[in-house]
Structure 1
Amino acid sequence: MESLGELLDSMKSPAFRRKSDEIAKELLEHPLVRSLKEQHPELTEQVLRTNLSRVYQYVGDHNNCEHCPGLERCPNDFQGHYSKLDVQIVNGSPEIYERKAPCSLQISKTNEDQIRKRIRSFYVDERALEEGYNEVEIMSKDRLRAPAVHQVFRYIRDTRENGLSPKGLFLTGSFGTGKTFLMCYLLHELAKQGFTGVIVYMPEFMEDLKSMMQDNSKLKETVETMKHCDLLIFDDIGAENLNPWVRDHVLGSILNFRMNRKPTFYTSNYRLDGLEKHLSFTSKDGEEAHKGQRLMNRISPFVDVVQLFGENQRG
């Protein structure tokens, strides 16, 4: 490695100075710098040369952005950001200041991160919440589900325009028709508007509640989260194994709190009457029709039913 003295000596050489002058001349003739001078006629060549390192960074970042390899491989010093130059008059002389601005990809990622922070999922495949959504694709994938899709789109539009309604949606249909996908789409779109949401896969949630009974603080935190979020989705309700305590004191408590306050959504292979029969039966106490009716009184009046037709997409 050469010594500092040798490095300083090389900087004094005519060849080094010629190379520096060539770089400076090329930079000052760059279209971006010419445009900057047109916007700020007060910028003299001397001021630009004094701030050559900032100008170099400015031009280099923009060149990298023109040939962007993607956010993860961004070659700029500050990933996802590029240099911008501001000119201000200080004590009668122009001064150049550099600042970092986020690129469109970084802005998009930041927005997506904010959306994800507003959504919590319990036992639902995260990929369903992270996939890109295309309305045209949703409509064209299976024409049979178009009426249901229109209802979901209408609900999203009405909520954007009028705010939260105490009424949610009850999506019913056969296996693999896209009920969970549509609810994830609804969550994603309304999270963009600032609403918080929780989606719960009921079969696994009900199983996990058994262990939560030994951890009262975790159970309370989970129930409070579901009570107070803006949008709550019970996914695949009717597929779980119920026990009476969970049905009456957990599910009943959540629904009792939310009714007339915030919307709750459901996906199910059952229709409402079939769900009532399911909620009336537990493995411990057998059939208790009045318990199922009591829970359905907190569900049926607070949902619009959406019948989802279509082919099984999982195949």
Structure 2
Amino acid sequence: MEPINQFLKNNKKIQDNNDRLYESLIRHPRIVELLENSEFEITRSMIKNDLLQLKRYTEQSLACENCPSLGQCINHPQGYVPSIDVRGGRIHIMYTPCPNKKKDDAFREKEKMIESYHVPKDVKDATFETVFLDPDSNRQQIIMKSIASSKKIIEGTDAKGLYIHGSFGIGKSYLLGCIANELKEQSVSSIIVYVPEIIRDLKAGFKDGTTDSKFNTIKNAQVLMLDDLGAEDVTPWVRDEVMTGILHYRMVEGLPTFVSSNYSMADLEYRYARTKENGVEETKARRMMERLRSLCEEVQLEGSNYRGN
């Protein structure tokens, strides 16, 4: 057992430390301001009972003044600023998100606005400001159409998207990324899907039971971007169950849809009318294309093959 004189000595040391902390705190500019502006009376005994709470309050940043970025935040928890709340005669610290965290959260929330499947990063990050314009391309006209279409979707005045077709490598996919980011800035979410790969994913999903969930995610997207439609292997299942199913649902629900393809709509219909399994089925291809035409305005992008340069 600790001797009584040692106990008294330690107790006096603790008391002396608390007294020094108290004297330091009541002179601290932040505590002085708190005492002057608090709507609740904060007494001497309340301060003494919650010295550590007040000490922690004085040590943390209140408005990111000591934190260059969220990752270098000195507060605990990081990204939150303290404020004082008085309840039941005790002093409590409340935490709310700091300006840096709010900004970071808003950025992350917007980043989630674009979901992509097998789409290159440069497409997902594309913006109209970064599009290369050249005199041999009608890119500027297509950009204006894309911006106008995006604006109507944002305003809710028209849900019709664009069917952008043209030669290989001229930037059709990039324009889809530009549209997705234009929508993102106004908190409109989109999904960009590279069609040949997502078809493979849907087939693979038969083994692990994920086909339906992937299919439903795509068809229910607030805005859907189908990249490189027609580059996939055309089968009756792809045409009738997958593509017609997606397009029909989106047509009925009035959900905006954008498409890029190497084929014009007429050429795509010809392609989808022919499968190895069933031969020529023009009616089924026409059924699919009717839905696509109701969803999209067809535009042709012209220009050089930038991938080959």
Assess same fold via TM > 0.5: yes
Give the number of aligned pairs.
298
Aligned to 2:100: 105
The equivalences for 1:1-315 within 5 A come to: 9=9, 12-13=12-13, 17=16, 23-40=21-38, 43=41, 46=44, 47-62=46-61, 65-87=64-86, 96-115=91-110, 120-125=115-120, 129=124, 131=125, 138-144=128-134, 145-162=139-156, 165-187=158-180, 190=183, 197-213=190-206, 217-261=209-253, 262-285=255-278, 288-308=281-301, 312=306
SS at match of 2:105: helix
Judge conservation of contact 1:142–1:310 (CA < 8 Å) in 2: no
In the alignment, structure 1 segments of 5+ residues that lack a partner are none
SS at match of 2:129: helix
* CA 42–116 in structure 1, closer or farther in 2 if over 3 Å, else same: closer
Judge conservation of contact 2:22–2:47 (CA < 8 Å) in 1: no
1:209 to partner: Cα distance? 3.5
Could you give the per-residue CA deviations for residues 59-114 of structure 1, whole angstroms, max 9, x where no partner exists?
A: 222179323253344332212212112356x6xxx754321111233223434554
Between the aligned partners of 1:230 and 1:50, the Cα distance in structure 2 is 54
Between the aligned partners of 1:314 and 1:61, the Cα distance in structure 2 is 55
Letter in 2 for 1:99: M
In the alignment, structure 2 segments of 5+ residues that lack a partner are none
Judge conservation of contact 1:241–1:283 (CA < 8 Å) in 2: no
* CA 314–84 in structure 1, closer or farther in 2 if over 3 Å, else same: farther
Letter in 1 for 2:129: M
Identity across the alignment (%)? 30
Q: Structure 1 length normalisation: TM-score? A: 0.74
* CA 108–36 in structure 1, closer or farther in 2 if over 3 Å, else same: same
Between the aligned partners of 1:25 and 1:186, the Cα distance in structure 2 is 61
1:299 to partner: Cα distance? 0.8
1:266 to partner: Cα distance? 0.8
Judge conservation of contact 1:118–1:196 (CA < 8 Å) in 2: yes
Judge conservation of contact 1:276–1:293 (CA < 8 Å) in 2: yes
1:256 to partner: Cα distance? 1.8
Judge conservation of contact 1:166–1:260 (CA < 8 Å) in 2: no
Letter in 2 for 1:274: D
Judge conservation of contact 2:236–2:275 (CA < 8 Å) in 1: yes
Letter in 2 for 1:155: S
* CA 297–63 in structure 1, closer or farther in 2 if over 3 Å, else same: closer
SS at match of 1:62: coil
Could you give the per-residue CA deviations for residues 209-263 of structure 1, whole angstroms, max 9, x where no partner exists?
A: 4334556x53333333333332222111122121122212221122122214222
Between the aligned partners of 1:33 and 1:189, the Cα distance in structure 2 is 47
SS at match of 1:169: strand
